[in-house]
Amino acid sequence: MSIEPPPTDLDWVQLRKDMGGDGPQTESTSDKFARKFYENPFVPLGCLLTTGALSYGLWNFRQGRRKMSQQMMRLRIVAQGFTITALIVGVIATTGKPASNAIKN
């Protein structure tokens, strides 16, 4: 019976080399945003609509235009619903698809 030494913290490096991996593949933030925007452009659009309605609604509230502020808050709720729906549809649409190679070697 042979006794193996306990694994060290860097054993995963050797394991990755043994499995044929060439190291972690990284993607810049702007590349990731562009890829995600291309996959589902409605999510960032919904976020912008939500932010715009919220900002304009708060500005109107501060100016004393309560009716317009209330309408903007209602629009914000609609925009949030649109964003959540876009997220769910995007997740359902990509379920079952093979993962694309985000970084070309």
Model confidence pLDDT, tens digit, residues 29-87: 999 888 888 888 999 999 999 999 999 999 999 999 999 999 999 999 999 999 999 99
The C-alpha angle with vertex 50 and arms to 48 and 51, in degrees rounded to 5, equals 65
Tokens standing for 94?
């990509």
pTM: 0.64
* Residue 88 to residue 90: CA distance in whole angstroms: 5
- pLDDT category, 10, cuts 50, 70, 90? confident
Neighbours of 41 (CB within 10 A): 12
* Residue 7 to residue 89: CA distance in whole angstroms: 44
